[in-house]
Each structure stands twice: as C-alpha cells, then as structure tokens.
C-alpha cells in the first residue's frame, strides 16, 4: 500500500505550526488516489497507540507504587484504550486494511522504560502518554477521508482528553499539600478543600494546544508495511 507520505508530512508540519487554529482553518483532505491508503495508515497508527496505552497501564497495574486510587483509574482507563483499539481495528478492516495489534514503535521504547516508582511519576508518565495520543489524533483526524473513521477518532480523542484532564488534576493534588484528596471517585464534600490551581490545571492544554513533533505519532509511524 503506497501513500504520498511527503504530502502527509507537509500537512502535518502545517498543523503543528498552526495548532488548533490551523486545524479549524485548514480542513485538509488527501488526494483522491491516496484517500483509502492514507486512512488505513492513520487507523493502523491509532491502533498502535492504543495498544501502547493498554500495555503502559498494564505496567502500572503490575507494580506496587500506584496505590489504590491510581490502580482503579489505570484499570478503567486500560479497558477504554482496549475498546478504542478494537474500534480503530474495525475501521481498518472495513477499509480493506490489515489490522495493527502491536504497540507504536516510535513511542514503545520510551514508555517501556518509564519510571513508575512513585504515584507522582506514574501520573506524569500516564499524562504524557495521553497527551501523545490526544495530539496525534488531533493532527491526524483532518487527514482522514472516511467520515466514519473520522467520527470514531473524534470520540476517542475526547475520551483521551478526559483522561489527560483527570491525570493533571491528580498530579496537582499529589504534588501539593493535598495528596489525600487525590481519590476517585472524588467526594463532593471535599470540593471546598481543593487548592485554587485545581480549577485550571486540568483543561488548558488538553486539546487546543498541540505539542511539538517529538510527541506526535505521524500517520505512518505505526502503519504496517
């Protein structure tokens, strides 16, 4: 399956330079001859990112430092990522592509060796992972020609942003003077005890600000050759 990756990369650089505004202002579509092939590559890469996420949370669950709260979060989030992988794989098969089940090779070595020795480090690693996924989907989604695939990716991206927002809030509580408040579910009676920064740390960059290329999975980075 051959795709004009040079054109895809050029569009990627444009989006990275323009952030969310670039996504809104430039509804880019691949050339007709490459639509399906590029869609399959993007879906395979998305599947590889979800496989990576499931494996990373498996490492969290396999260790002791996460604690009860983070373990419960990791277990539910891992379940979601497995469902997301299945959804991307289903769209890949529907477009006639081969299903990707392996972790993304660009990021797998990074997260495989991540430091998970304390709850704060677990949160930092997980938040970085979710940011990689959210940004990669935000950049790749406008390149998708298949409407159903784009819809699936948009829904997954929203859930991933929720994960990131939750992790940022947990990280703030763990790093501050209120680690005892880092619980899920959060009791309503403790709302007034939250530090002031808890009201803003979770949402500013979850979706609207894209990180640099080092934390973006290009469309072909997890594609099957």
Topology of domain 5-215 in CATH is Ferritin (1.20.1260)
Q: pTM for the complete prediction? A: 0.78
Q: What's the burial of 4, exposed, middle or buried (CB within 10 Å: 0-12/13-18/19+)?
A: middle
DSSP string covering the chain? ----HHHHHHHHHHHHHHHHHHHHH------GGGHHHHHHHHHHHHHHHHHHHHHHHHHHHHSSTTHHHHHHHHHHHHHHHHHHHHHHHHHHHHTTPPPP-SPPTTTHHHHHT---SSHHHHHHHHHHHHHHHHHHHHHHGGG---HHHHHHHHHHHHHHHHHHHHHHHHHHHHHTT-GGG--SSPPGGGGGGS-GGGGTSSSTTSSSS---GGG---TTTT---
**Rounded distance, CA 164 to CA 156, Å?**
12
CA distance 225 to 222: 9
Establish how many alpha carbons lie within 13 A of residue 206's alpha carbon, considering only the half-sphere containing its beta carbon: 18
| Domain locations in the chain as residue ranges | 5-215
Per residue in 108-163, pLDDT (tens digit) is 999 998 998 888 899 999 999 999 999 999 999 999 999 999 999 999 999 999 89
Give me the long-range contacts of 131-135 (CB less than 8 A, separation at least 24).
Answer: 131/164, 131/205, 131/211, 131/215, 132/49, 132/107, 132/211, 132/215, 132/216, 132/217, 133/49, 133/50, 133/53, 133/157, 133/160, 134/160, 134/161, 134/164, 134/206, 134/207, 135/210, 135/211, 135/215, 135/216
pLDDT tens for each residue of the chain, 225 residues long: 444 545 544 554 444 444 433 433 333 444 444 479 999 999 999 999 999 999 999 998 886 666 777 888 899 999 999 999 999 999 999 999 999 999 999 999 999 989 988 888 999 999 999 999 999 999 999 999 999 999 999 999 999 998 998 898 888 878 766 666 666 666 566 555 565 666 566 665 555 567 678 889 999 999 997
CA distance 209 to 225: 31
Return the structure tokens found at 121. 């480090």
């Amino acid at each position: 399956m051959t795709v004009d990756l040079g054109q895809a990369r050029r569009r990627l650089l444009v989006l990275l330079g323009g952030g969310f505004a670039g996504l809104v202002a430039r509804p880019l579509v691949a050339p007709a001859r490459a639509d399906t092939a590029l869609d399959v590559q993007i879906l395979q890469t998305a599947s590889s990112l979800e496989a990576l996420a499931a494996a990373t949370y498996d490492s969290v669950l396999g260790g002791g430092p996460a604690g009860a709260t983070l373990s419960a979060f990791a277990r539910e989030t891992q379940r979601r990522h497995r469902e997301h992988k299945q959804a991307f794989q289903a769209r890949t098969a529907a477009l006639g592509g081969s299903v990707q089940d392996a972790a993304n090779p660009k990021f797998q070595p990074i997260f495989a060796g991540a430091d998970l020795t304390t709850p704060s480090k677990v949160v930092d690693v997980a938040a970085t992972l979710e940011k990689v996924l959210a940004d990669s989907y935000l950049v790749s989604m406008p390149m998708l020609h298949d409407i159903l695939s784009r819809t699936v990716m948009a829904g997954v991206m929203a859930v991933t942003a929720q994960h990131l927002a939750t992790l940022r809030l947990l990280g703030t509580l763990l790093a501050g003077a209120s680690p005892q408040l880092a619980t899920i579910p959060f009791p309503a009676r403790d709302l007034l005890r939250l530090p002031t920064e808890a009201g803003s740390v979770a949402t500013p960059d979850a979706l609207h600000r894209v990180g640099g290329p080092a934390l973006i999975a290009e469309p072909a980075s997890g594609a099957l050759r």
